[in-house]
Structure formats: C-alpha cells, structure tokens
Amino acid sequence: MAEQQLRFRGTVIRGFGRGSKELGCPTANLDVNSFPWLDNCAIGVYYGWASVPAARPGAVLPAVVSVGYNPHYGNTTKTLEVHIMDEFESDFYDSVLNLVLVGYIRPMEKYDSLDALIAAIDADKAFAADKLAGDAWAELKADAFFSATDESDGWQEANPDEPVFAAPPATAAETSS
C-alpha cells in the first residue's frame, strides 16, 4: 500500500466539458480553491481511489487524476480533474466526491496531437489499473472516508506547510521498460 496518501473531499463542479466529448474520458472536477495546500502538490497525473456515494453508494472505484494546467489546451487555470474508471448512468454534478491519491504517474505534457494526448491518457489508465489491482488496497477501500456524503463529514486535509508528492516515484514510462 502507498506510504503517502492525499485525501480530498469536495463537491463536483462543471469543468471545461472536454473529457467526455473530445477525449472519451469523462472527468469529475473539484474546485482547486477548496484545497489551498494543493499548491504543494506536484503538477501531473496521479492514481488513487474515488467514491461518489450519492451516485453509487458503497462503491470505491479506481481513478486517474489530473492536477495542473493541461498544457495541451494552454489552460492558465489550475484544475483538479478526476476520471473514475467505471461507467455512471448519469452526471453527478453537485454531489460529494471522496478521493484518495496514492501514487504519481507522470508530469503534465503538451502533445503534438489530440490522438497523442488520448494515447497518453489510455496509458495512464492502464498503469493505474495495474497498480490498483489486487487485494492490497482492501483496507483503504473499506475506510469510512469513502462513505461520507457531506463535505464536512470527517474531512481530512494535508498539512499546508509540507510538500505533497514532492518527489514523485518513477513514471509509467520509466517502469514499463
């Protein structure tokens, strides 16, 4: 299990609307201003576990998470975008999302084409699925943190003075060779 974990709990907000439409990778967005300590978090792609109790009670699902500026699109606003690696019947805007990041995949990159970005996202999802497979995560997935439906219910946050994932582990590309 991961030595370092970063917990988020927030209400899902509308993003740029590109995840599903352009990338085939729907995302649930959280307001980065709700997490001032996020400034200590390395920009990049992470993996972890997520739940949306209002949409799927009891389910704790693998997730790939983008924290940063999405250089392919030239964003100037930092975003926190969560791709839950499962299907949902409908959108769950305004629902509480519980998220625990357990690992870092890679830094953000600007790609030469949309197809190259989609290929990188697909590789991120495969890497996360591999890392999150198995029973080693059973204790974390059973954590009561994932069942909260209110932002203030059991809220935990990082220490704003300590770096978060400041020294990321090897990237997916480095570990696949």
Which residues are annotated as catalytic? 81
Q: Positive or negative, the Cα torsion across 36, 41, 46, 50?
A: negative
Structure tokens at 46: 């992470």
Structure tokens at 78: 């930092």
Residues in CB range of 60: below 8 A, 6 or more apart: 49, 50, 51, 141, 146
Residues in CB range of 3: below 8 A, 6 or more apart: none
Residues in CB range of 93: below 8 A, 6 or more apart: 12, 13, 14
